[in-house]
Every structure is written in structure tokens, then in C-alpha cells.
Structure 1
Amino acid sequence: MFKTLRAALLLALATTALAGTATAQERHLIGNFGEIGKNADFWEIRMGIAAYDTGFFSTHETDGATINGELVFPSPDFLYAIGSPRPYIGFDAGIADHPIHFFYAGLNWETYFTDRIYLSNSLGGSINTAKNLDDPKDYKALGCNVLFHLGIGVGYDFTRNFTGQLYADHFSNANTCDHNAGQESAGLRFGYRF
């Protein structure tokens, strides 16, 4: 799991390092490919639904759904040097047998590959409502109530203000606790920028 976290962090850092000190209109990774910081000045509300306990690294121990919501803030000026990521707060509310709910916060980078299609990467931390953290016989031995949060999504802008994303959330402790079952969800959400 630590390798996954490290890879996501390196991707985010590489994306922002390549942006350099260019203006918002000049931020590109390769020529006109890969614009970042496009939405740096916008607020955004995102809401969606996802499959609970579903993802590449999930243990798929239960069925159900997750209600997802995020509030994304404009990027503060001091984050300009790392690609103007936008701070976010969010939640994953599980609808399943023995659900675990997550509340999280961090930074979100968006890299546009066309005028409308983009990749969203999030990195932050979370807290959860899991009660039994260390018994692998019980559902989801997460090991800790404080976990890392990684998010990834592929988005499409229907208009300048309205967007949709196929996304996935990953929560784990990167083996900093005795158990690290991790929790993931994957689904669809929509956002409104203002």
C-alpha cells in the first residue's frame, strides 16, 4: 500500500514540477498537452454515488453503496508553485451491512488533456467511524481511525460550470498500524463550479 501512496504522490509532484512558474494560461506538461491549474479560482460542489468496498486494492468483503460529497475551495496563492491544487473536504457515507463512514480533506490537482477531459488526483488524510480496528475476523480491520486518502478520477466538463467524473477513493494507513485492510469505493459523481 505504501508503494501505491508513494506512486500517487510522485505523480502529483511530477505534474506540478513540470508546470514551473508559468501563468495559469501557460501551464502545460508537453506543449499544449496537460494544462493544470485551470480551475484554481473556482469553488466546486461534488456529489455522487459509488459501489462500496470496490476497487483494485479492496478486499471486497461487503456489498452496498457509498454516498460521496466534496466541497472544493479555490487554490490559495501560496500553492501556485506546486500547480495551484485546490483544498477539499469530503465524506464517503456507506450504505451497507456494517458500514464505515469516512470524512476527509486534502489537496486536489486537475490535469486537462483536452478543453473538456481531465484527470483528477487527490491526496490527503481522513478519519473514519470504524469500531473494531484490529480484528481481521470482523469486517474491515483498518488498523487506525486516522488514514490517508487518495482519490483519482477521469472527468468531462459538460459546460464551464458543470462537470462529471468517474472516480475512486482509497483509504488506508500505509502499514503504519498493525492491520491495513483498506477501504475503497468507485463510482460516478457530478460537480458544479462557481
Structure 2
Amino acid sequence: MTRKIAFIFAGLAVLTGVLVVPVRAEGFDAAEMARGLGISELRAGIMVHDIETSPFRPLFVHFESVDLSKWQNLNVELLFDLPESDAMYWLGSPRLGLAGSLNFVGKESYARLAAVWHVPVFETGIFVEPMLGGTVHNGYLDNAPADRRNLGCRFLFQYGMNLGYEVTDKLSAMFTVEHSSHLWLCGEQTNDGVNRAGFRLGWKLD
């Protein structure tokens, strides 16, 4: 499982690097290819691992629990536009976020698929983005050592929030906080969950 997540993350990281740097050779345009696949934005950043948040209020971080020595997660995300339809309209027209989070020190890493709703705050450049989806991780299910989490299930729910600012038409900066757990579906004794928070940059391709 660790190798699978590492492979997914490496693929996302390589693709992000290729697309962020303009690549044009023999008529090949990586950004244009990505747009053809429906990718509208690339995001990457670094996050603090294992913090405490208030249940069901993912932006309410317990800042006293934030250990700044735990800047341990590299996060990369590809955002896809979904086909326009009445169903997508009534769902709020979310984008689909495919992400990977790699922990530098061998703790919980994951691959994630989630719906991401972009909500601008009037014309201030500020935006809020709720996220809801699921992850597959490489952590312990039970009997975890003292510095790890009992996560119960290999597949977890994930919800979170981005609070960001549109720096330019292409570039955005955001604070991201996210929570992963199985919501007690795999037992009350193995639902420690994992929380992460940090800063990311986004680059629009459209």
C-alpha cells in the first residue's frame, strides 16, 4: 500500500512539475494537453501533520496543538472541471480534486479524491472552498505505536476547507485544513483520525 501511494503521489508531482513549467517541443504543449484532460488548476504546498481541530468544524484549529516541527507533508492536487449539467448545477458546480499527500518522516500519507466547491467572497479576491471526499492511506488500522494513529479502515472519509486569495488571474494562495476519519464505521476504538493544515499555491491553466 505504501508503494502504491508513493507511486500515485510521484505521478502527481511529476505531472505538476511538467505542467507548471511551460513545455513546448515539436508542437507539444503540456498545459494544453492538461486542459484537454479537463484539468483546470494545479495546487501544491506543505502542511503540518497531526493537529487538533473541532469536530465537524475543520477551520477551527486548536492552535496550541500545532507543532511547527511537523511541517512534514508535501501536498499536490489536480483540479478537474466536471461536465456541465442540471445535476452538477444543483450540486453547486463542484470541481473534482485528485490529490496526494506524502509524509516526509514515514507517517500517514494518502491519495484523495474529493468534490471541491469554489465560493468567492463578493469581488474581494477572497474565496472559501469546502471539500468532501475520500482517501486511501498507508497508516495503521489498529495497534499503532505511540506516535501514530489507529485509523480503523484503509479507506477514510475526508472533509476540509480552503481559505484563499486570488493573487492574479492565474495565481492563488490559500490556507488549507483537512480531517480524515471513518466516522465510527470501523469501530470506536480505531477512529483516531488525522488532521493536517498548511499553505498551498494554485496555478490556473484556463
Question: Does the alignment reach a TM-score above 0.5?
Answer: yes
Does residue 184 (structure 1) correspond to residue 195 (structure 2)? The answer is yes
Distance in 1 of aligned mates of 2:82 and 2:160: 18
Name the residue aligned to 1:38: none
Map 1:1-194 to 2 at 5 A.
43-56=40-53, 63-78=70-85, 79-96=88-105, 98-115=106-123, 116-130=125-139, 132-135=140-143, 137-138=145-146, 139-178=148-187, 179-194=190-205
Contact 1:152 1:169 (C-alpha < 8 Å) held by counterparts: yes
TM-score normalized by structure 2? Answer: 0.68
Greater fraction of residues in helix: 2
- SS of 2:157's partner is strand
Distance in 1 of aligned mates of 2:71 and 2:198: 12
Aligned-pair distance for 1:161?
Answer: 1.2
- Cα distance change of structure 1 residues 133 and 123 upon mapping to structure 2, 3 Å threshold: same
The runs of 5 or more residues in structure 2 that have no matched partner are 1-37, 55-61
Amino acid paired to 1:124: G
Aligned-pair distance for 1:86?
Answer: 0.3
Contact 2:127 2:164 (C-alpha < 8 Å) held by counterparts: yes
Distance in 2 of aligned mates of 1:55 and 1:120: 20
Percent identity over paired residues: 26
Contact 2:46 2:71 (C-alpha < 8 Å) held by counterparts: no
TM-score normalized by structure 1? Answer: 0.72
Q: Displaced runs of 4+ in structure 1, greater than 6 A?
A: 58-62
Name the residue aligned to 2:26: none
Q: Deviations for 1:91-116, whole angstroms, at most 9, x for unmatched residues? A: 111123x4111100021001111321
Q: Deviations for 1:41-91, whole angstroms, at most 9, x for unmatched residues? A: 970100000111124159889944111111001132131221110011001
Query: Which deviates more from structure 2 when the two are superposed, residues 68-77 or residues 132-141?
Result: 132-141
Contact 1:88 1:108 (C-alpha < 8 Å) held by counterparts: yes
- SS of 2:118's partner is strand
RMSD: 2.2
The runs of 5 or more residues in structure 1 that have no matched partner are 1-40
